[in-house]
Chains A and B, each alone.
Chain A
Amino acid sequence: MEIKPIFLSIKHNKAIAMLVIIQVAITLTVLSGSLLLTTSTLKEWNLPSGIPHYNIISAVPEFYDLEVDVRQSLIDDLARIKAIPEVINVSPATQRPFDAQGIQTIYLEASDEAQEYETNIFTGDANLPEVLQLSLIEGRFFREDEIVVGQRDELPAMPPIVMISEAMAKVLFPDNNALGQTIWLEKGAAPAEIIGIYSNFMNGENLNYFGQSYRTILQPLVTWQNRADPSYLIRVEDGMADGLLETIRNQLYKVDGRYVNRVEVLTRTQKRMYDGRGSHAIMLLVISSVLLLITAFGMAGLVSFLVTQRQKQIGTRRALGAKKWDVVRYFMLENGVLTTIGIVIGLVLSIAFAFVLTEDSGVNILDMSYIFATAFFIILVNQLAVYLPAKKAANVAPAIVTRSA
């Protein structure tokens, strides 16, 4: 309604108008920047693991005595761990869910120009699917006799078969059935046949960050090299995991010349995978909410200032027939106009800020819907902040106008 008088009044109070506009613009920039960063940080955050990770323990021992017979101690380790009554199953492993190191490149053909696919390869014996409680979607699991065991650089040949996850199958063979197809895990090496497809599980941070969380390959392989000994994945009975860490550590220490680096429940591994991003995001969110609070307080303060400044004017308007609601509406509308101008400037700044951030991080984080949502939210908060002092303004007695008499 009375947009024009509001503009005239803003023109009259340039300093205050500037304060509001700048404040809104910066608030929008900071808030939307934080929000964009947060969402991009938390993208792919805390996805389902696909496995009962709370019941799985990973143990990472390493040998510092190179004279130790690794093959024998592997057999002993497995026997000792299996002997623990609460242990359901155990498999040697070189990678752990949530913690897959490095990204491996695989191919669908042997040629030099073959398209590259990124994945994480998990190795283990025939018990691995059972340890991770993977369900079979197609084909079959590995058999005991298909497991290749040995020191890495002395292996006669890599296993000729692999299993792949459902997600991996979809990527590699979007149109065909993956079962029975062959893939190359290394250029120039012999291909491997896909004998089974299993349910998805989380690989690790590296691929997760690129939105490729569930691309995995299982290889029937138990291998070690120098100090890179096989670690173990152990599934235990429900709720027993935490209590078993020490027992397992002690069992592993029964072999001399070894250091047990880490025995932990996969929940901790999972936490480690996400905690950097999580804490960063939470920090940004805390800062943003405090900022919003401060902006709201500032708005409320400004309007109460304006109210004291304009007592007489409000009284005059009331005397001329303005209802209380007209006064409240006037202030809310005035704030709305200023906020909107600030928002427009803030939008430009936000987009620029998002571009800078994008350039810095290399990930495109610009998403207008978030910026608009933030803008809307700021308008809402400001209107709320203005409402209370405006209500107070409406209580200015109209009789104030005759006081000069």
Chain B
Amino acid sequence: MFAYNLKLAFKSLNDRPSLTILMVAAIAVGLGLFMTMLTLSHQAGKIPMPHISKQIHLVQLDNREVTADEAENFNQMVDLTYQDTQNLLKLPSSGVEQTLAWNTNGILNVEEQEIQPQRSSVVATNQAFFTMFEVPFLYGKGWDSDADQFSQAVIVLSKKSNDYLFGGINSVGKQVRLNTHVLTVIGVLDDWFLARKFYDRSYYQAWPDQAFIPSNFAFDSDLPRNARFDCWSTTTNPGKFRTNYLTELKTSECAWITFWAKLPNHNLEDYKTQLGQYIDSQKRLGRFPRENQYFLTNINDQLEVISKMIGREQMLGVISYMFFAVCLINAVSILLAKFMRRTKEVSLRRALGAKKRTILQQHLIEVVFIGIIGGLFGILFSYIGLQAMLRVSLYASDYVRTAADLMPYHQMDWEMIMMAFTVSVSCTLLVGLYPIWRICNVSPASQLKAQ
């Protein structure tokens, strides 16, 4: 029976090809846009380093003045002051890794004249950064604690910078200049894909940094500090700290450095205790005028807060859902038209002894098949859609971002492909519900009498 129904279903698909094509097209186009937006949000919603993301905590201490606003979550809280980062790094640690990070920039250049200097965004951090975040290395490795302590002029290059400056060779030991400072390459990163650049709290996608240097070296060289300075209201024009007044900044209550601790579960409580004690000790020195408050927020929780604030794409998302809904409603009418044309045939089959079940099966097969075809074309359309979105992103960034960097956010993975098929088939079944119900309830005799 199944084979026979299969044959009938295929015959019926061929019967009015224009209707079949229209139906497949409606589903595929709707699904295409839907999956495009779903893939974008799926990829954008991915958590960087998912296997350790729950251990990586952003550390924030509330050193603000008494009159400051209450903070509900980490996003409304200030980062750390320079002095607090230094103090926390000196905490008697029990195996807790901590790192700090702030953004700077400079011109990377090498002796060779034919390679033009390149403006680069650079992260100032410490040695723990590379181990904590499991940064992959192509050549060499991160610097050691001596380099931090003695402000050594060492640098870790991204793969792309290494390709640009050194033609992709193992450049460890070679010298590179950041502005006029000569640094020794100590490591070259491999491709390091982060779903979102979390460590500077920008949560950017596809804006990778080009180099990493020891924070103390960056201070000594007085590199620009690209940060927001959250200062007490007594500080006028905090923007001045960007390029100046380093000594004043280091002793100020201006918070601007992101600080991270890797806290496996068993360490969390200890660390909290330590933070509490630290704040108390600072209170005795006249700092931290507010009630004890600190935030320890892991990456997952951060992204949860952040993802609620991303507007424009969500709007397109809502539109794509509605768009899909319209396409499905369309598919209902097309399917209805397709099936009801066959009322007479079905009625005759019923009269000749076909059970309702058989009729149901035949039409289910047809609908599922349409769903699968629609899914296939839907995936094709979403591939095209994602490519188009990629071009739009490139265009809109004036080609500053590269297709290679953006690619991971515009790519369907297996999860999405399976999703597309599931959505397609289940939605076609949903769409088919009413038409199938109608055709199955055609009474055996009704249409014969009129012949």
Chains A and B in contact, CB within 8 Å: yes
Q: Which residues of A contact B (CB under 8 A)?
A: 15-16, 19, 22-23, 26-27, 29-30, 33-34, 37, 62, 64-67, 225-227, 253, 257, 259, 261, 268, 271-272, 275-276, 279-280, 283-284, 287, 290-291, 294-295, 297-298, 301-302, 304-305, 308-309, 312, 357, 360-361, 403-404
Would you call B154 an interface residue if the criterion is a C-beta within 8 Å of the partner chain's C-beta atoms? no
A27 to B329, CA, bound (A): 11
Q: Can you give 13 A-B contacts (C-beta < 8 A)? A: A19-B329, A33-B319, A64-B106, A66-B179, A66-B180, A271-B398, A279-B392, A280-B396, A294-B326, A297-B26, A298-B329, A304-B337, A305-B340
Would you call B38 an interface residue if the criterion is a C-beta within 8 Å of the partner chain's C-beta atoms? no
- Among A64, A225, A357, point to the contact of B107 (Cβ < 8 A): A64
Q: Are B392 and A259 in contact (CB under 8 A)?
A: no
**Do most interface residues of chain A lie in helix, strand or loop, or is the interface mixed?**
helix
Q: Are A15 and B434 in contact (CB under 8 A)?
A: yes
Centre residue among B30, B319, B340, B434 by max chain A CB count within 10 A: B319
Would you call B341 an interface residue if the criterion is a C-beta within 8 Å of the partner chain's C-beta atoms? yes
Report chain B residues within 8 Å CB of A301.
19, 22, 330, 333-334, 337
Q: Are B340 and A30 in contact (CB under 8 A)?
A: no
Assuming A22-B329, A360-B311, is B26 touching A279 (CB within 8 A)?
no
Report chain A residues within 8 Å CB of B449.
404
* Minimal beta-carbon separation of B64 from chain A (angstroms): 26
Report chain A residues within 8 Å CB of B329.
19, 22-23, 26, 298
Would you call B354 an interface residue if the criterion is a C-beta within 8 Å of the partner chain's C-beta atoms? no
Report chain A residues within 8 Å CB of B316.
283-284
Q: Are A305 and B330 in contact (CB under 8 A)?
A: no
Assuming A280-B312, A403-B450, is B117 touching A259 (CB within 8 A)?
yes
Report chain A residues within 8 Å CB of B29.
290, 294
* Minimal beta-carbon separation of A272 from chain B (angstroms): 5
Q: Are B395 and A275 in contact (CB under 8 A)?
A: yes
Q: Are B336 and A16 in contact (CB under 8 A)?
A: yes
A62 to B120, CA, bound (A): 13
Q: Are B107 and A259 in contact (CB under 8 A)?
A: yes
Q: Are B333 and A305 in contact (CB under 8 A)?
A: yes
Q: Are B326 and A27 in contact (CB under 8 A)?
A: yes
Residues 83-111 of chain B: 1 if any A CB is under 8 Å from the residue's CB, otherwise 0?
00000000000000000000000110100
Q: Are A16 and B333 in contact (CB under 8 A)?
A: yes
Q: Are A302 and B333 in contact (CB under 8 A)?
A: yes
Q: Are B26 and A294 in contact (CB under 8 A)?
A: yes
Would you call B224 an interface residue if the criterion is a C-beta within 8 Å of the partner chain's C-beta atoms? yes
A261 to B107, CA, bound (A): 10
Given contacts A276-B396, A287-B323, 7 further A-B contacts (CB under 8 A): A15-B434, A30-B319, A67-B180, A284-B316, A294-B30, A294-B330, A295-B330
Number of residues from B at the complex interface, CB < 8 A: 45
Q: Which residues of B contact A (CB under 8 A)?
A: 19, 22, 26, 29-30, 33, 106-107, 109, 116-119, 179-180, 224, 243, 311-312, 315-316, 319-320, 322-323, 325-327, 329-330, 332-334, 336-337, 340-341, 389, 392, 395-396, 398, 434, 449-450
Centre residue among A227, A284, A298 by max chain B CB count within 10 A: A298
Report chain A residues within 8 Å CB of B33.
287, 290
* Minimal beta-carbon separation of A106 from chain B (angstroms): 18
Q: Are B319 and A298 in contact (CB under 8 A)?
A: no
* Minimal beta-carbon separation of B324 from chain A (angstroms): 10
Q: Are A34 and B333 in contact (CB under 8 A)?
A: no
Centre residue among B320, B330, B434 by max chain A CB count within 10 A: B330
**Cβ-closest chain B residue relative to A349:** B322
Q: Are B337 and A26 in contact (CB under 8 A)?
A: no
Assuming A30-B319, A64-B106, A280-B312, is B330 touching A298 (CB within 8 A)?
yes
Q: Are B326 and A275 in contact (CB under 8 A)?
A: no
Assuming A294-B29, A298-B330, A360-B315, is B322 touching A30 (CB within 8 A)?
yes
Assuming A301-B333, A305-B333, A360-B315, is B395 touching A291 (CB within 8 A)?
no
* Minimal beta-carbon separation of B220 from chain A (angstroms): 14
Closest 6 CB pairs between A and B?
A305-B337, A298-B330, A64-B179, A64-B107, A302-B333, A259-B107
* Minimal beta-carbon separation of B108 from chain A (angstroms): 9
Report chain A residues within 8 Å CB of B179.
64-66
A67 to B323, CA, bound (A): 60
* Minimal beta-carbon separation of B110 from chain A (angstroms): 13
Report chain A residues within 8 Å CB of B333.
16, 19, 298, 301-302, 305
Q: Are A261 and B119 in contact (CB under 8 A)?
A: yes
A271 to B400, CA, bound (A): 14
Report chain A residues within 8 Å CB of B341.
308
A215 to B136, CA, bound (A): 50
Report chain A residues within 8 Å CB of B395.
275, 279
* Minimal beta-carbon separation of A107 from chain B (angstroms): 18
- Among B116, B119, B330, B340, point to the contact of A297 (Cβ < 8 A): B330
Assuming A297-B22, A298-B26, is B450 touching A305 (CB within 8 A)?
no
**Cβ-closest chain B residue relative to A153:** B244
- Among B180, B312, B315, B326, point to the contact of A23 (Cβ < 8 A): B326
Report chain A residues within 8 Å CB of B311.
360-361
Centre residue among A23, A226, A294 by max chain B CB count within 10 A: A294
Report chain B residues within 8 Å CB of A19.
329, 332-333
**Cβ-closest chain A residue relative to B450:** A404
Report chain B residues within 8 Å CB of A26.
322, 325-326, 329
- Among B224, B320, B340, point to the contact of A227 (Cβ < 8 A): B224
* Minimal beta-carbon separation of B405 from chain A (angstroms): 18
**Cβ-closest chain A residue relative to B337:** A305
Report chain B residues within 8 Å CB of A65.
179-180
A294 to B33, CA, bound (A): 13
**Cβ-closest chain A residue relative to B243:** A226
